[in-house]
Amino acid sequence: MKRLLVPALLTLAACKKEDTTVRQPDYDGKWYIHQIVEKEYTLENGDTAYTHYEVNDYPGTANYLDFRIDRGKGEALQYLENRLDSMSYEALSSVYFRLDSTLCEVTHITDSTFQFHTLIFDNTTIPDRVQVTQHFYVLSR
């Protein structure tokens, strides 16, 4: 029995998952907002009906999103149209993160460009339908 127990314990110890933070792309720091596309639509039985589609362009460097991340957690400061908003940040995976309670998905990232979108699901506004709101961010350094 001892012969079987020792190798089994060593195998378990070698396979133990490390308790490390989620590895995320390097988007810590200030990013200038160039465009935000807002889409709102409803889903019912697989059909999509768009109710709102708006494109907002932001030339120059007045508007920004500043990620302050430490080990997968932190905050993001958004300065948009002369209004400052602070949101909590949490990395969920290398592609998904959360700003406050909003789920976000990274769609493109390089050293100088960053694109992500938000996913907000609401099934209470219209009975028997799911309302989806997405904001597509186009940013650069």
Segments making up each domain of the chain, as ranges: 21-140
Mean pLDDT over the full length of the chain = 84
Dist CA 84 CA 81 (whole Å): 8
Tens of pLDDT, residue by residue over 86-121, are 999 999 998 999 999 999 999 999 999 999 999 998
In this prediction the pTM is: 0.78
Dist CA 72 CA 83 (whole Å): 26
Tens of pLDDT, residue by residue over 74-84, are 999 999 999 99
CA atoms within 13 A on the CB side of 64: 15
Dist CA 78 CA 81 (whole Å): 10
Q: What is the CATH number of domain 21-140?
A: 2.40.128.20
Task: Name the DSSP class of 17.
Answer: P
